[in-house]
Amino acid sequence: MSKAIFELVDELPTNNLTTKMLNALDFVVPGEWENVVGFVNTIKTVTGETDEDLIQAIGERAIYLYNDRSQGYQRAMWLYQTVDNTDKALGAAALANKIGEKVSFLGFLSNITPKADKAQTIDLCLKLVTELVAFCQINGIPGDSIGDFVASLGEYSGESLMRMVALVCVDGLIPLGPDFISKTMSMISQTNPQELEGNSTFQNIQDAIPGEDAGGKLDFIGESFNSVKGWMSGLVSSHDLTRQKVVHNLQNFVDISDDKLDYLAAFLDMSTNYYEHTGTQTLARRLIERAVAEI
């Protein structure tokens, strides 16, 4: 990793398309996510500390832990960054001058190619597996600990819960519709290892996914999604989530008609990095909490 954890947290944006999207999804878990940026500010927010010397000590310990390669923190950060970066078939530079105003979405349609359903389902599953493996890295447990991850989902809060909400809404409901869970299970069962190997996201993160070969990794991906489908279904039903509700809230910052929802998913893939953004916040929180416990 080329950047220190304090740099990554200091450089988190306060207002861009990613934060607008996450704020628009706040209706699902109201008040759960706060866009805490800045390393020192994050320490103060997580700990409630005001003593500058103690804040300094916590920060130094957190940086030390992140830099210790025997820990899994850098690996988790790499996963969050990588799974987002491979989404960007097009750079978001063209959107930069639109920040702060309501994006007129239709002007970008000629530059966007929606993913086929199978590619979308594979990417949804790979993002989920990334969350599982990063969770294991952060907590120092074997990377195939599906049961531990599923058990932890009930305790998810803050930026971690927001990331999973965005996964369900933006990578599930919008591109694949209300039956995205059954559709994904069906698609994955019909996917062969060669198709998986052709996926650019898989090519980038395959070494982090448990399994001896592409076939074994595909089995692990399917098992992971199957284990989490109950949690996802519960989230959708308990919050009465629909594609229309999600899109309605996203229309606060982007113009989109209902017949262009497949393009909306591609647009959000291209222009946001919610996994990296909230993943950085999750890592900072875990590092700070551990640093406090060790001091």
pLDDT of residue 99: 46
Asked if residues 152 and 189 have their Cβ atoms less than 8 Å apart, the reply is no
In this predicted structure, the answer to whether residue 119 has a pLDDT above a threshold of 90 is no
In this predicted structure, the answer to whether residue 210 has a pLDDT above a threshold of 50 is yes
Q: Which two tokens stand for residue 29?
A: 């878990």
Q: What tens digit of pLDDT does each residue of 65-90 get?
A: 999 999 999 999 999 999 988 756 44
Q: What tens digit of pLDDT does each residue of 252-265 get?
A: 877 777 777 777 88
pLDDT of residue 90: 43
Give residue 129's pLDDT band: very low, low, confident or very high (50, 70, 90): very high
Euclidean distance between CA atoms 243 and 282, whole angstroms = 27
Least confident of 53-62, 95-104, 182-191: 95-104
Strands (E) across 186-270 are located at none
pLDDT of residue 254: 78
- The amino acid present at 186, given as its one-letter code, is S
Query: CB burial class (10 A; 0-12, 13-18, 19+) of residue 270?
Result: buried
pLDDT of residue 111: 64
Determine which helix (DSSP H) or strand (DSSP E) holds 41, and give its type and residue range.
helix 39-47
From the list 75, 77, 11, 71, the residue with the least C-alpha distance to 39 is 11
> Around 179, how many Cα atoms within 13 Å sit in the side-chain half-sphere?
6
Average pLDDT value for the chain:
89
pLDDT of residue 97: 44
Would you kindly state where each structural domain of the chain is located, as residue ranges?
5-294
Mean pLDDT across the stretch 20-28?
95
Mean pLDDT across the stretch 115-143?
91
Name the pTM for this structure.
0.91
pLDDT of residue 101: 52
Tracing tokens 């932890």 back to the chain, one arrives at 152
Asked if residues 175 and 119 have their Cβ atoms less than 8 Å apart, the reply is no
In this predicted structure, the answer to whether residue 182 has a pLDDT above a threshold of 70 is yes
Mean pLDDT across the stretch 161-170?
97
pLDDT of residue 88: 61
Selected residue with higher pLDDT from 110 and 126: 126
